[in-house]
């Protein structure tokens, strides 16, 4: 015992030294970060976005770029992305955005250029956990901010999303707290949380969807991601409160409620890892076939497109055509193509090719109606916060400078 405490005591300075410095690729700052802000020797802390700074090997301390010391290659094209997309017969080229970054005026200025972006998707602020933060209380402020921005800019708006396992986990937790605090958990027989949510869903869908559809009667809105990510990668149904309670039939409930809220908007099911053929694409094809056969309203399949540089699935065009052959449209809804940092010229060149490949596939399929990137700049990308050591996934770098990927997009539409 004595020996243990002695050895712990002797280790303490070492442990403190270690924890005072983040490892290479480790987090070293960002809103809410309470850990080490210094990096181990050989790496430096770089701001990736307001929520995440990371120790980048070989980077200069205090700099804002994750690229190596030689100047990074940039885009040379002067074409505008929405202009080229429309010239190719598409409805739009668009970007996701989120409320916190709307205070960045340089960022908003590029986002608001409708020759570059003809469409906007709110990355978070129309989700269930954002619109109904407590039970029965709906909050549309943040979603309205983005809807109004799109309207002011003359951009289409994609509603995202009505039903998603990830948001329902957040809601379940809140519901649990509220049930306990209100002391009514025993008043609901059977499965109180599930029952409550199932009872509530149509009201949510009608209220939320109607809010933005009602503000968009002049037709700049086109689509809603009604159901998000219903499948696991092996094609089995994702298990969460809705699928566990009523099975895959929750998709019917959601689509019918959405159609009742507005008969005009295009209703989509949206998922990732369905860019190429495979078990998950097959499951989605089967679901859409079944929905169409039973007359359940479904207009489109959203192919998210969270991809990896140099590792694109084969036959993207063929896969898009398999969906459109069922009588639905498709859209690339959340495109980003990430790499392991740092972003070398070779990786940026490969990324340019990969963007061109995806855009060309959509371009070749008439019923692929448009492409949305999941925000346009690395400054606000979700990637580094989720995939450690990866990033640089978008066509603008974190200084809002256009990368070679931009030229890949332009070439893909030509
Ligand atoms: O980019 C979004 C991130 O800011 C949120 O924390 C996260 C959870 O709501 O959702 C991210 O967006 C996801 C999208 O809604 C659905 N497809 C995957 C996207 C990236 O995770």
Q: Quick check: is 176 in a domain?
A: yes
Asked if residue 28 and residue 142 are part of one domain, the reply reads: no
In angstroms, the CA 164 to CA 382 distance is 18
**Mutual orientation of helices 250-261 and 279-293 as an angle, nearest 10°?**
60
Residue 1 lies in a domain: no
Residue 11 in domain = no
**Is residue 294 in some structural domain?**
yes
From ligand 1's centre to the CA of 346, what distance in Å? 28
What residue owns the CA closest to ligand 1's atom 5? 124
Tens of each residue's pLDDT in the chain, 414 residues: 333 333 333 333 333 333 467 887 777 777 667 778 777 877 777 766 556 677 777 654 433 334 445 678 999 999 999 999 999 999 999 999 999 999 999 999 999 999 999 999 999 998 888 887 776 778 889 988 998 899 899 999 999 998 888 766 666 666 555 555 444 433 333 444 555 566 667 777 777 777 777 655 544 567 999 999 999 999 999 988 778 777 898 899 889 888 887 788 899 999 999 999 999 999 999 999 999 999 999 999 999 999 999 999 999 999 999 999 999 999 999 999 999 999 999 999 999 999 999 999 999 999 999 999 999 999 999 999 999 999 999 999 999 999 999 999 999 999
Q: Are residues 60 and 145 in the same domain?
A: no
Output the CA torsion 52→57→61→65 (10° steps). Answer: -60
Q: How, if at all, do strands 92-97 and 119-122 pair? A: parallel
Domain co-membership, 264 together with 182: yes
Give distance in angstroms: CA of 227 to centre of ligand 1: 14
Determine which residue's CA is closest to atom 19 belonging to ligand 1.
334
Question: Would 112 be classed as within a structural domain?
Answer: yes
203 vs 132: CA distance, rounded Å: 11
Beta pairing partners, 43? 57
Give the C-alpha separation, 222 to 267, whole Å: 9
Other Cβ atoms closer than 10 A to 98 = 16
In-domain check, residue 17: no
Please, where are the H alpha helices in 32-119?
81-87, 105-111
- Distance CA(392)–CA(123), nearest Å, equals 18
Count of structural domains within the chain: 2
If asked whether residues 148 and 295 sit together in one domain, one would say yes
Distance set, CA 190 to CA 77, 172, 247 (Å) = 61, 16, 17
Contact predicate 77/410, CB 8 Å: yes
* Pocket residues: Cβ below 6 A from ligand 1: 123-124, 127, 166, 228, 304, 334, 382
Question: Are 134 and 38 found together in one domain?
Answer: no
- Asked if 87 and 148 sit in the same domain, the reply is yes
Q: Is residue 267 part of a domain?
A: yes
- For residues 58 and 195, state if they share a domain: no
> What pLDDT shows up at residue 29?
74
| Whole-model pTM over 0.75 | yes
Which atom of ligand 1 is closest in space to residue 170's alpha carbon? 9
**In 3D, which of 244, 216, 56, 68 has the Cα closest to residue 147?**
216
* Count of CA atoms in the C-beta half-sphere (13 A) of 202: 8
Q: Whose CA is nearest to atom 16 of ligand 1?
A: 228
Nearest atom in ligand 1 to 127's CA: 9
Q: How are beta strands 38-39 and 300-303 bridged, if at all?
A: unpaired
Atom of ligand 1 nearest to the CA of 167: 9
- Whether the Cβ atoms of residue 309 and residue 347 lie closer than 8 Å to each other: yes
User: 377, 394 in Cβ contact below 8 A?
Assistant: yes
Closest CA to 341 of 128, 96, 56: 56
For residue 195, is it within any domain?
A: yes
Has 334 been annotated as catalytic?
yes
- Do 56 and 113 reside in the same domain of the chain? no
Q: Give the span between the Cα atoms of 375 and 373, in whole angstroms.
A: 6
Same domain for 364 and 286: yes
| CA atoms of 137 and 324, how far apart (whole Å) | 38
- Based on the domain organization, do 48 and 187 belong to the same domain? no
Q: Which residues contact 329 (CB under 8 A, 6 or more apart)?
A: 266, 299, 300, 301, 367, 368, 369
d(CA 378, CA 403): 10
The atom number, within ligand 1, closest to the CA of 96 reads 1
Residue 102, token pair as written in the block: 């709307």
Q: Which domain holds residue 30?
A: 22-66
What distance in angstroms lies between residue 98's CA and the mean position of ligand 1's atoms? Answer: 10
pLDDT of residue 5: 35
Q: Are both 186 and 268 inside the same structural domain?
A: yes
Does residue 30 share a domain with residue 122? no
- Domain CATH number, residue 256: 3.20.20.80
* DSSP state at residue 395: S
Ligand 1, atom 20: nearest CA belongs to which residue? 382
310 by Cβ neighbours in 10 Å (0-12 / 13-18 / 19+) ranks as middle
């Amino acid at each position: 015992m004595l020996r243990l405490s002695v050895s712990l005591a002797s280790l303490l300075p070492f442990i403190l030294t270690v924890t005072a410095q983040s490892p290479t690729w480790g987090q070293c700052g960002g809103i809410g970060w309470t850990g080490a802000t210094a990096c181990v020797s050989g790496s430096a802390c770089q701001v990736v976005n307001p929520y995440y700074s990371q120790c980048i090997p070989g980077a200069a301390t205090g700099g804002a770029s994750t690229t190596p010391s030689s100047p990074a290659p940039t885009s040379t094209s002067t074409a505008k992305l929405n202009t080229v997309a429309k010239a190719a017969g598409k409805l739009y080229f668009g970007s996701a955005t989120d409320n916190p970054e709307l205070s960045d005026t340089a960022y908003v200025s590029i986002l608001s250029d409708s020759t570059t972006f003809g469409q906007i998707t709110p990355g978070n602020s129309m989700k269930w956990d954002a619109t109904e933060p407590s039970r029965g209380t709906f909050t549309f402020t943040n979603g309205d901010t983005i809807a109004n921005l799109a309207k002011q800019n003359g951009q289409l708006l994609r509603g995202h999303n009505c039903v998603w396992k990830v948001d329902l986990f957040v809601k379940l937790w809140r519901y649990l707290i509220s049930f306990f605090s209100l002391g009514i958990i025993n008043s609901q027989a059977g499965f109180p949380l599930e029952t409550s949510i199932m009872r509530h869903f149509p009201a949510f869908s009608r209220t939320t969807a109607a809010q933005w559809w009602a503000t968009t009667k002049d037709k700049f809105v086109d689509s809603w991601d009604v159901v998000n990510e219903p499948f696991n990668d092996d094609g089995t149904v994702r298990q969460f409160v809705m699928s566990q309670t009523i099975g895959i039939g929750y998709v019917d409930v959601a689509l019918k409620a959405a159609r009742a809220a507005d008969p005009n908007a295009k209703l989509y099911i949206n998922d990732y890892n369905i860019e190429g053929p495979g078990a998950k694409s097959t499951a989605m094809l089967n679901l859409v076939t079944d929905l169409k056969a039973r007359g359940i309203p479904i207009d489109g399949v959203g192919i998210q497109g969270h991809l990896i540089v140099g590792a694109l699935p084969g036959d993207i065009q063929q896969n898009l055509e398999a969906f459109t052959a069922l009588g639905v449209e498709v859209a690339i809804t959340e495109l980003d193509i990430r790499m392991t940092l740092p972003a070398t010229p070779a990786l940026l060149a490969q990324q340019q090719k990969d963007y061109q490949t995806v855009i060309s596939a959509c371009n070749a399929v008439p019923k692929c109606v448009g492409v949305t990137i999941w925000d346009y700049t690395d400054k606000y990308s979700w990637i580094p916060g989720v995939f450690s050591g990866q990033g640089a996934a978008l066509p603008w770098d974190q200084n809002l400078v256009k990368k070679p990927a931009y030229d890949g997009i332009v070439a893909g539409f030509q």
